[in-house]
Amino acid sequence: MKPRWKGKGSQAKANADPMSKIVSQLQSSLIQSETRGLLSSCSVLVEVDAELADLLNRSCFGRPRITAQEDKQWFQLDMEEAFYLCFSLKCLKVIGENGYIKSNEELWDYLKSKKPVFPVSYKVYSHLRHKNWVVRSGLQYGVDFVAYCHHPALVHSEYAVLVLSEGDNDLNGRLRVWSDVHCTVRLCGSVAKTLLTVIVNSNNQGANSPSCLEHYTVEEQTITRWNPERSREDQTGPKNGTKKV
Amino acid sequence: MATHIAPLRKLWALHVLDGNDIHLSLKELYEKLSNGKSGCYWELFEVYKHLRSLGYVVGRHGIPWSVKGQHIKSGTCSLEGSQESNEMLEMEPKDENSVIELFNNMQITDVSPAFNVYLPNSKFRKSSPGDPSFVLYISRCSPPSRVEIEALERKHGAIPFKFCHVENGRVSFFSFAKTELPVLS
């Protein structure tokens, strides 16, 4: 699956500016500034200066909120993004409604209460982010996430990601019937993305605390539609670069 | 029974000859296909017809290409496109049921390997068919689970496999493949 870069020079730009490095800079900067996030319903709000705002934008964490403030900017982080910064990168602390910093366990419980599939969803998010893929919400495409190999300004997202689970934490009911496979694959195709299912097995570890996550196993799978009308003459495989037949 | 398929794209007609070179009526054909004991199922036929009309070479998985001189017992069905074939389909006694009712009795409940498919224009020869371009499974119930896919990948090795879903006369093909996104820099 080859990435579709946007315009000339994008690929070179991306190669010169690896995502792992940007994320690492974000991590250092957040630690240094002792940034605190405010827990608000299903988001975490952070107030940042220009340097951090730039790093958040370049690493694709959160969305800037429009405010009248000039010197500082506010960013809104999704659940998975916030927890990744807190728990995986250990560079952010979140303050709850009582004004105190929430521990990882407390944050985990809170996020689970808001979104029962959060443990599995987070496992997939962190799995892809760890491999330095940019992961954003896939809601507008009817999937859980979309994955880019670098910043969305430079490249089109290749994968529409659906989180599936097997084992005891089977809360996600997607792709159980053929009509859903048809629907999802068709939608992905119409937005030029490959459907990537990431299947999480909790291995009976439950989801009581974030430490359970390291025992979860993850498998990736692509689901693609094959069109017999198009593949007849082409011995080398369909044009989108996937393997032969 | 040898099946000779006219250009389906234009005519959507199927000329079927039985072992005695007699044309079967459509009703007779459908009745034969409805008969579970012969091993031929309606969906299998739909898929076969669909791929054959596009020029693919399709053989029933597990049935050898060349069985000249052999008499195939009931329970197997060979739907080769070749006119040289002299396999025979054993006829079962006809029911009094209407054709529509026979359709309703037909089901595939298991996912089982159905066809070996070769691309059109591939240098296919019955005497040495070689590996198929892919093996085709027909599914009716649910999409395959990850565990099933892994088992099939182990079973077929280098030969790709696809799943075919048939519903309302619509034949769709899907590939499920284990993958691993690379670690980026």
Hey, what domains does chain A have and what are their CATH numbers? 10-225 (3.40.1350.10)
Residues of chain A with pLDDT under 50: 234-244
**How many other C-beta atoms can be found within 10 angstroms of the C-beta atom of residue B161?**
20
Instruction: Give domain status of residue B109, yes or no.
Output: yes
Q: Do A147 and B181 touch (CB under 8 A)?
A: yes
Q: Report the pLDDT value the prediction gives residue A179, as an integer from 0 to 100.
A: 93
Q: Do A222 and B175 touch (CB under 8 A)?
A: yes
Q: Report the pLDDT value the prediction gives residue B66, as an integer from 0 to 100.
A: 58
Q: Report the pLDDT value the prediction gives residue A168, as an integer from 0 to 100.
A: 58
Look up residue A215 and give its DSSP letter: G
Q: Tell me how far apart the alpha carbons of residues A190 and B29 are, in angstroms, rounded to a whole number.
A: 39
Q: Report the pLDDT value the prediction gives residue B102, as an integer from 0 to 100.
A: 33
Interface of B with A in 138-167 (CB under 8 A): 139, 142-143, 145-147, 149, 160, 162, 165, 167
B142: distance to nearest CA of chain A, Å?
Answer: 5
Q: Do A220 and B180 touch (CB under 8 A)?
A: yes
User: Chain A residues with CB inside 8 Å of B162's CB?
Assistant: 226
Q: Do B177 and A177 touch (CB under 8 A)?
A: no
- Close Cβ partners of A28 (under 8 Å, ≥ 6 residues apart): A91
Residue pLDDT, tens place only, A25-81: 999 999 999 999 999 989 999 999 999 999 999 999 999 998 888 889 999 999 999
User: Chain B residues with CB inside 8 Å of A220's CB?
Assistant: 178-181
User: Chain A residues with CB inside 8 Å of B120's CB?
Assistant: 232-233
Instruction: Give domain status of residue B73, yes or no.
Output: no
Residue pLDDT, tens place only, B27-46: 766 676 666 554 446 777 78
Q: Do A181 and B184 touch (CB under 8 A)?
A: no
CB nearest B142 (choices: A128, A176, A225): A176
Task: Kindly tell me if the per-residue pLDDT of B76 is higher than 50.
Answer: no
Instruction: Give domain status of residue B21, yes or no.
Output: no
Task: Determine which helix (DSSP H) or strand (DSSP E) holds B148, and give its type and residue range.
Answer: helix B146-156
Tokens 């940019």 belong to residue: A134
Instruction: Give domain status of residue B48, yes or no.
Output: yes
Instruction: Give domain status of residue B169, yes or no.
Output: yes
Instruction: Give domain status of residue B44, yes or no.
Output: yes
Instruction: Give domain status of residue B12, yes or no.
Output: no
Tell me, yes or no, if A151 is annotated catalytic.
no
CB nearest A221 (choices: B56, B119, B146): B146
Q: Find which of B43-47, B121-125, B131-135 is predicted with most confidence, using mean pLDDT.
A: B131-135
CA A128 to chain centre: 7
Q: pTM higher than 0.90 for the full model?
A: no
Q: Report the pLDDT value the prediction gives residue A173, as an integer from 0 to 100.
A: 82
Beta-bridged to residue B60, according to DSSP, are B115
Q: Would an 8 Å CB–CB cutoff place B130 in contact with chain A?
A: no
**Active site residue: A141, A148, A159, A216, which one?**
A148
B75: distance to nearest CA of chain A, Å?
Answer: 29
Q: Do B180 and A177 touch (CB under 8 A)?
A: no
Q: Phi and psi at residue A203, in whole multiples of 5°?
A: 50, 40
Q: Phi and psi at residue B81, in whole multiples of 5°?
A: -85, -5
**Active site residue: A125, A127, A193, A216, which one?**
A193
Q: Report the pLDDT value the prediction gives residue B68, as an integer from 0 to 100.
A: 42
Task: Kindly tell me if the per-residue pLDDT of B69 is higher than 80.
Answer: no
Instruction: Give domain status of residue B11, yes or no.
Output: no
B123: distance to nearest CA of chain A, Å?
Answer: 12
- Close Cβ partners of A199 (under 8 Å, ≥ 6 residues apart): A164, A165, A166, A218, A219, A220, A221, B146
Q: Would an 8 Å CB–CB cutoff place B97 in contact with chain A?
A: no
Helices A104-114, A118-130: crossing angle, 10 deg rounding: 120
Tell me, yes or no, if A122 is annotated catalytic.
no
Higher pLDDT, B115 or A92: A92
Spatial strand order of the sheet with B134-139 comes to A134-137, A145-148, A159-166, A194-201, A217-226, B170-179, B161-167, B134-139, B112-118, B57-60
Q: Find which of A67-71, B139-143, B148-152 is predicted with most confidence, using mean pLDDT.
A: B148-152
Look up the domain containing B153 and give its range.
Answer: 40-63+99-184
The one-letter amino acid code at A234 reads D
CB nearest A221 (choices: B134, B177, B185): B177
Task: Kindly tell me if the per-residue pLDDT of B74 is higher than 80.
Answer: no
Tokens 């590996």 belong to residue: B131
Q: Do B162 and A199 touch (CB under 8 A)?
A: no
Q: Where are the beta strands (DSSP E) in B46-169?
A: 57-60, 112-118, 134-139, 161-167
CB nearest A232 (choices: B120, B178, B182): B120
User: Chain A residues with CB inside 8 Å of B177's CB?
Assistant: 221-222, 224, 243
Q: Do B174 and A133 touch (CB under 8 A)?
A: no
Tell me, yes or no, if A193 is annotated catalytic.
yes
Q: Do B181 and A196 touch (CB under 8 A)?
A: yes
CATH code for the domain in which residue B127 is found: 3.40.1350.10
Query: CA nearest A88: which of A39, A37, A48, A123?
Result: A123
Per the structure, how many domains does chain B have?
A: 1
Mean pLDDT of chain B: 65
Task: Kindly tell me if the per-residue pLDDT of B14 is higher than 60.
Answer: no
Average pLDDT over residues B97-114: 44
Q: Report the pLDDT value the prediction gives residue B112, as an integer from 0 to 100.
A: 60
